[in-house]
Amino acid sequence: MTSMRAAVLRDVHDVTIEERPIPTPGPDEVLVRVGSVGICGSDVHYYESGRIGPYVVDKPLVLGHEAGGEVVEVGERVLGLRAGQRVSLEPGVPCRSCQQCRAGRYNLCPGVQFFGTPPFDGALCEYVSMPADFVYPVPDALSDDAAGLLEPLSVAVWACRLGSVSAGSRVLVTGAGPIGLIAAQTAFAFGAADVVVTDVNPQRLAAAEQLGARTLDVSTTAVEDSGFVPDVLLECSGNARATSAAVRTVAPRGRVILIGMGSDEVSLSLPYLQNHELTVQGVFRYANTWPTAIALAASGAVQLDQLVSRHFGLDAVEEALTVHRQDPSALKVVVRPGE
What is the contact surface with its own copies in residues (CB under 8 A)? 28, 53, 96-108, 131, 133, 157, 160-162, 166-168, 186, 189-191, 193-194, 240, 252-253, 258, 261, 263-284, 287-288, 291-292, 295-296, 299, 301
In whole angstroms, the minimum distance from the beta carbon of 266 to its own copies comes to: 5
**Buried b / exposed e along 83-98 (16+ C-beta atoms within 10 A):** eebbbbbbbbbbeeeb
CB within 8 Å of 270: residues ≥ 6 apart:
none
If the CB atoms of residues 105 and 311 are measured against its own copies, the closer one turns out to be 105
If the CB atoms of residues 287 and 331 are measured against its own copies, the closer one turns out to be 287
CA-to-CA distance for 113 and 119, rounded, in angstroms?
8
Q: Output the CA–CA distances (angstroms, integers) from residue 25 to 257, 261, 304, in the order listed.
A: 38, 34, 30
If the CB atoms of residues 280 and 316 are measured against its own copies, the closer one turns out to be 280
If the CB atoms of residues 31 and 320 are measured against its own copies, the closer one turns out to be 31
In whole angstroms, the minimum distance from the beta carbon of 202 to its own copies comes to: 27
In whole angstroms, the minimum distance from the beta carbon of 335 to its own copies comes to: 26
If the CB atoms of residues 46 and 190 are measured against its own copies, the closer one turns out to be 190
If the CB atoms of residues 203 and 269 are measured against its own copies, the closer one turns out to be 269
Say what angle helices 317-326 and 41-49 make with each other, to 10 degrees.
100
CA-to-CA distance for 42 and 286, rounded, in angstroms?
16
If the CB atoms of residues 1 and 79 are measured against its own copies, the closer one turns out to be 79
Q: What is the phi-psi region of residue 288: left when phi exceeds 0, alpha when psi lies from -120 to 50, beta otherwise?
A: left
If the CB atoms of residues 21 and 139 are measured against its own copies, the closer one turns out to be 139
List the end-to-end C-alpha distance of the chain, in Å, as a whole number.
17
In whole angstroms, the minimum distance from the beta carbon of 102 to its own copies comes to: 6
In whole angstroms, the minimum distance from the beta carbon of 199 to its own copies comes to: 20
If the CB atoms of residues 279 and 309 are measured against its own copies, the closer one turns out to be 279
What angle is formed at CA 150 by the lines to CA 202 and CA 335, rounded to 5 degrees? 75
Which of 286, 283, 226, 227 is CA-nearest to residue 255?
283
The answer to whether residues 23 and 129 touch, using CB atoms and an 8 Å cutoff, is yes
What radius of gyration, in Å, describes the C-alpha atoms of the chain? 20
The answer to whether residues 107 and 287 touch, using CB atoms and an 8 Å cutoff, is yes
CB within 8 Å of 220: residues ≥ 6 apart:
none
In whole angstroms, the minimum distance from the beta carbon of 33 to its own copies comes to: 23
CA-to-CA distance for 131 and 137, rounded, in angstroms?
13
In whole angstroms, the minimum distance from the beta carbon of 86 to its own copies comes to: 19
In whole angstroms, the minimum distance from the beta carbon of 108 to its own copies comes to: 4
In whole angstroms, the minimum distance from the beta carbon of 318 to its own copies comes to: 27
Which of 230, 176, 213 is CA-nearest to residue 198?
176
